[in-house]
């Protein structure tokens, strides 16, 4: 809500006060998320959700989301990706994204002037099918005293107390980053000198997927991810039971230039899909009558043209294991609440492009005389599909 207010015409004093509210809220959210992640790591409760992951795609998303932060400080934020990066590897995209957010966000935070550069390269490994991703985050910031380097990845540690007063933070980000990298069988190291900037290097061993070619050919190389505005005005269906969240999303969609229709539960969302054409569904996971998981199952099991509509989950439960659940029922992605507008916009774009590309690929195969990859396969078991058909019949009676 503070982001929306800041986009309006405000007096300087009003803008300053709202900025303080937003920054304080973001700081509190960061502290809570860091403590939650650290407690899960310490308890061994944080598991990896490995799946097809685009190393360059993740990097591009993080850089574009953080670009406004760099621009606000008049910093150059650049990225360099080698031409031989695999298009897809087996990894945990959520945790890889978190590692990069921590490192690039820190670099921006602790760089008063100059630039932040992020690079991605690969190193061969002896094991067949394996490669090592090497992410480097270099900045021209305040640097780190040599005496502090051995303790840098210790929780609640910063170079000195003045750092916390000047730049904020809890001193947990790097500790969490090291724990995540270790969980992914990788390493993280730092090269730094006081007043000369720092370079953080993350090395992650990953398995290259069999169908992966170079990401430069497969995903456009260094091109930036499209913003939803680049796709034109969208007609968005929001399934959300909370009035405050509906009000917020209406304002966000208006700002992004999209038309929004609202359903208060899964049953109403399905009814609206039958009555109108939409470009994407934003689906709250927890709703009365029919939740987002159930509604997505019904949508994917139907024989209607809208069965393949992009669906993005809106959830306060983006913990380990949940992303697999959302994907398994047919959702194209998820955004955690409270959400950042740029993150939501990027995820909407990714889901729409993913669905469009899959549809075009199926059409090309059919036109070439082959079999549609989706034909003859089932993402839902036969008994489950029968149960969902019965649920559709029941919905017909409820909606009638």
Q: Is the pLDDT reported for residue 221 higher than 90?
A: no
Q: Which of 115, 130, 148, 143 is nearest to 186 (CA)?
A: 130
Q: Which of 134, 63, 54 is nearest to 87 (CA)?
A: 54
Q: ∠328-352-252 over CA atoms, to 5°?
A: 105
Q: Is the pLDDT reported for residue 227 higher than 70?
A: no
Region 17-46 average pLDDT: 70
**Is 65:79 a contact under the CB 8 Å cutoff?**
no
Separation CA 281–CA 268 (nearest Å): 12
165-177 confidence digits (pLDDT tens)? 444 455 678 888 9
Q: Provide the token pair at 394.
A: 């029941």
Region 376-381 average pLDDT: 45
pTM: 0.58
Separation CA 400–CA 397 (nearest Å): 5
Task: Give the model's pLDDT for residue 225.
Answer: 46
Name the CATH architecture for the domain at 47-218: 2-Layer Sandwich (3.30)
DSSP assignment of 254-289: HHHT-EEEEESSHHHHHHHHHHS--SEEEEESS-SS
Separation CA 235–CA 80 (nearest Å): 35
Residue 3, judged by CB atoms within 10 A of its CB (0-12, 13-18, 19+), counts as middle
Task: Give the model's pLDDT for residue 369.
Answer: 59
Task: Give the model's pLDDT for residue 380.
Answer: 46
Q: Provide the token pair at 11.
A: 């007096």
296-342 confidence digits (pLDDT tens)? 999 999 989 899 999 999 987 555 456 668 888 999 988 888 787 88
CATH C-level class of 228-399: alpha beta
Backbone angles phi and psi of 189, in degrees to 5:
-140, 165
**Is 79:63 a contact under the CB 8 Å cutoff?**
yes
- Cis before residue 338, ω within 30 degrees of 0? yes
Task: Give the model's pLDDT for residue 144.
Answer: 87
**Partners of 79 in the β-ladder:** 118
């Amino acid at each position: 809500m503070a982001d929306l207010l800041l986009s309006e015409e405000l007096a300087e004093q009003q803008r300053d006060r709202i900025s303080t509210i937003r920054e304080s809220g973001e700081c509190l959210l960061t502290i809570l998320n860091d403590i939650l992640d650290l407690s899960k790591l310490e308890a061994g409760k944080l598991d990896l959700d490995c799946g097809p992951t685009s190393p360059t795609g993740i990097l591009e998303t993080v850089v574009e989301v953080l670009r406004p932060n760099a621009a606000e400080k008049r910093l150059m934020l650049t990225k360099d990706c080698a031409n031989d990066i695999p298009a897809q590897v087996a990894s945990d995209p959520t945790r890889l994204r978190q590692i990069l957010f921590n490192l690039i966000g820190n670099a921006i935070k602790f760089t008063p002037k100059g630039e932040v550069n992020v690079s991605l390269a690969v190193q061969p490994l002896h094991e067949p099918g394996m490669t090592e991703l090497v992410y480097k985050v270099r900045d021209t910031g305040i640097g780190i005293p040599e005496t502090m380097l051995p303790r840098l990845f210790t929780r609640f540690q910063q170079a000195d107390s003045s750092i916390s007063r000047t730049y904020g933070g809890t001193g947990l980000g790097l500790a969490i980053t090291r724990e995540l990298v270790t969980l992914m069988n990788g390493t993280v190291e730092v090269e730094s000198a006081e007043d000369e900037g720092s370079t953080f290097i993350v090395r992650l061993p990953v398995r290259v997927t069999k169908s992966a070619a170079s990401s430069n050919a497969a995903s456009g190389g260094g091109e930036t991810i499209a913003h939803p505005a680049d796709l034109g005005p969208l007609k968005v269906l929001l399934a959300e039971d909370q009035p405050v969240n509906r009000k917020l999303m209406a304002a966000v969609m208006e700002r992004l230039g999209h038309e929004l229709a609202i359903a208060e539960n899964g049953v109403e969302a399905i009814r609206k899909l039958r009555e109108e054409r939409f470009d994407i569904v934003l689906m709250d996971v927890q709703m009365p009558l029919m939740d987002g998981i159930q509604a997505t199952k019904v949508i994917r099991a139907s024989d209607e043209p809208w069965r393949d509509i992009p669906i993005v989950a809106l959830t306060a439960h983006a913990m380990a294991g949940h992303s697999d659940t959302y994907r398994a029922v047919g959702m194209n992605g998820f955004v955690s609440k409270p959400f950042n507008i740029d993150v939501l916009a990027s995820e909407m774009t990714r889901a729409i492009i993913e669905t469009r590309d899959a549809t075009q690929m199926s059409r090309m195969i059919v036109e070439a005389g082959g079999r549609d990859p989706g034909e003859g396969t089932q993402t839902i078991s036969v008994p489950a599909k029968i149960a969902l058909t019965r649920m559709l019949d029941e919905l017909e009676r409820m909606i009638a």
